[in-house]
Structure 1
Amino acid sequence: MYTKDNIFAKNQRINSFQLSKLHTFEVAARHNSFSLAAEELSMTPSAISHRINKLEEELGIILFVRSHRKITLTEEGERIYIALNKTLNELNQEVMDVKSGDISGELTIYSRPSFAQCWLVPRIYSFKKQYPSIELNILTGNENINFQGYGIDAAIYFDEQIPQKLWYKELMEESIIPVCTQEYADQLNLIERPENLKYTTLLHDNQAWDYNSHHGEWTLWANENGIPNIDDIPSISFDRSDLAVTAAMNNAGIAMGRLSLVKKRLVTGELITPFVGTQLQCAQKYYVVRASHNPSQKLALFLSWLINEVEQQ
């Protein structure tokens, strides 16, 4: 098929005309179809076929085996396609890096465990999609950390104490309300009957705002809603709000849920609020803290993304 004159020379570089044809080849190979390639490129199938034929002549390589209404890559064509696809992916990554200011490297965020589990982590894919070159590290814990020497760029706290001598920004308020499964509520006749709490097991975060807050969330909620003797009800305590909620989802009891963290469970019906209209706004709020008033470009991008996510929820 090919003569010595039209075979691609061993040391010859691909020219701009061949790059255009290689793009056509990539689309045809991806679809395994000249017709589908024609639709994507707004061309006719015959024009696609002509371009591929010309590319094969210029390269001196048969790229496709043609049969009736079907094309398949040859072994050589498969190798060219894999190399081309890899190159295009790498080029696309470089373009994204340039568009984001070529911002790369590590960024370490410290967060309360429940907030990370229920709110931050489910949304983190969108940050990574926007800034793929930033290597994000998420650390969790209940203590307030010392930024010096820990390599932490920012922390997300849930507290009513305003941090001293640190930059901070309030993210959002929080409310608490009891949550359980429909099955548990039906079993103990809880719907709109908070007096039946005495038959339940209370599930709670005993580090809601300090290391020994015990069932303080339940006490605050009960006092607000006129429910006596809450201390006499059996309970199970955890050091994380999301663990109490997980226990509730498995019918271990009724949990004091933080509304922003259980909202998705309520929408799906995995959990219900048996006492509608009894939610209590917390004194504590979520806020983000950093040591410096002048954040790095990576941190500035993360903070902007974080605030945008809060505003869109």
Structure 2
Amino acid sequence: MTRPYDFPSLTDLACFEAAARHLSFKRASSELNVTPAAVSHRIKALEIELGRQLFTRQYRSVELTESGALLFVSLQRGFESISETVAKIRSRHDRTGVSIAATTAMGGLLLTPRLATFWKSHPTIAISQFIQDGGPAQGVDLSIHYGDPDLTSDETRVWFRDRILALGSSQFAEAHSIQRISDLSRVPLIHTISGANAWTDWPEWLAAMDRPPPKGPGFYLNNYLISLKAAEDHIGAVLGWEGMVSEHLSSGRLVQLVPEAMESPYPFYVRIHGQASANAKLFADWLVGQDIRDTAV
């Protein structure tokens, strides 16, 4: 009987996808819990079946050939679609609950502190919170983002748009004699680089103040909560969304270094995914109605 789909062994394809994603047979073997030799063997078998070389082998690395890159893109699309479908099926066992994804920072600073208030008025609705710092949120009802809501085809709710302040510890401000905005061009600055959200960074903030790009040393971190902690530890100045870091300011853990502030170019918003339940939409409407500067939550 002829197979309806013309492709090689799924095991070989999964092995190739892992190796192509890591550009390393060794890291792929760790992910798949097999030996590097087994990965190499499966990929060699796949290359023989396809009649094309998929990797260019270097001394300590591998690179995708044109055929390999074409196959990798196709596999990623297919695997992402399968993953999203599986997640949707798994989430359908309880349509009364609400699942919501956010980065570590958004979850810790914006979402988690407000859940107890929601449960006081809706005690029967279960909330499942997922931390997703890397890629796009999948298999959930809702997700929180910072960016342009018009770039998604899903329904959205704009939550708030905030002022962005230059923040640091009082000890840091004193040690670097920070009094005016020009002083920020020479001091250590903390940059947050994240694949999940395009955080507004120092060059944009300074440009909004008609100031040149920073010239001082930079510290680059991929987690906004860690960036805030680094600022608390006097490592550098960090950008902060006024309402989002209100507790840091009220407690004195961070202070506003200069009076100038930038109006945020993007809002924080809630994305309502296609499979969202009625309770999920209820929660989204409730959440965007909360005052972001209300720390008594």
Runs of 5+ consecutive residues of structure 1 not aligned to the other structure? 1-102
3-state SS of paired residue (1:267): helix
Distance 2:161 2:220 in 1: 24
The match for 2:225 among 227, 242, 263 is: 242
Code of the aligned partner of 2:173: A
Is 1:217 the counterpart of 2:204 in the alignment? no
Is 1:299 the counterpart of 2:280 in the alignment? yes
CA deviation digits over 1:179-223, x for unaligned, max 9? 011111111111x32333344210121128757x7xx61001111
Give the % identical residues: 17
Distance 1:312 1:236 in 2: 28
The match for 1:174 among 158, 162, 177 is: 162
Q: Which has the larger radius of gyration?
A: 1
Is 1:123 the counterpart of 2:144 in the alignment? no
**Number of the residue aligned with 1:282:** 264
**Number of the residue aligned with 1:112:** 103
Summarize the Cα distance change of 1:144–1:158 in structure 2 as closer, same or farther, 3 Å threshold: farther
Distance 1:268 1:173 in 2: 23
Distance 1:267 1:143 in 2: 30
Summarize the Cα distance change of 1:287–1:234 in structure 2 as closer, same or farther, 3 Å threshold: same
Is 1:201 the counterpart of 2:182 in the alignment? no
Summarize the Cα distance change of 1:300–1:138 in structure 2 as closer, same or farther, 3 Å threshold: same
3-state SS of paired residue (1:119): helix
- What are the residue-to-residue correspondences of 1:77-92 with 2, within 5 Å? none
Following TM superposition, by how much is the alpha carbon of 1:304 offset from its aligned partner in structure 2, in angstroms?
Answer: 2.8
Q: How many residues align?
A: 201
3-state SS of paired residue (1:133): coil
3-state SS of paired residue (1:165): coil
- What are the residue-to-residue correspondences of 1:34-183 with 2, within 5 Å? 105-142=96-133, 145=136, 147=138, 150=139, 152-183=140-171
Code of the aligned partner of 1:221: W
Code of the aligned partner of 1:222: L
Distance 1:229 1:156 in 2: 30
Following TM superposition, by how much is the alpha carbon of 1:312 offset from its aligned partner in structure 2, in angstroms?
Answer: 7.5
Code of the aligned partner of 1:281: E
The match for 1:189 among 150, 174, 177 is: 177
Code of the aligned partner of 1:113: T
Code of the aligned partner of 2:112: V
TM-score scaled by length of structure 1: 0.57
**Number of the residue aligned with 1:264:** 247
Summarize the Cα distance change of 1:275–1:161 in structure 2 as closer, same or farther, 3 Å threshold: same
3-state SS of paired residue (1:128): helix
- Give the conservation status (yes or no) of the 8 Å contact 1:104–1:135: no
Distance 1:198 1:284 in 2: 24
- Give the conservation status (yes or no) of the 8 Å contact 2:189–2:216: yes
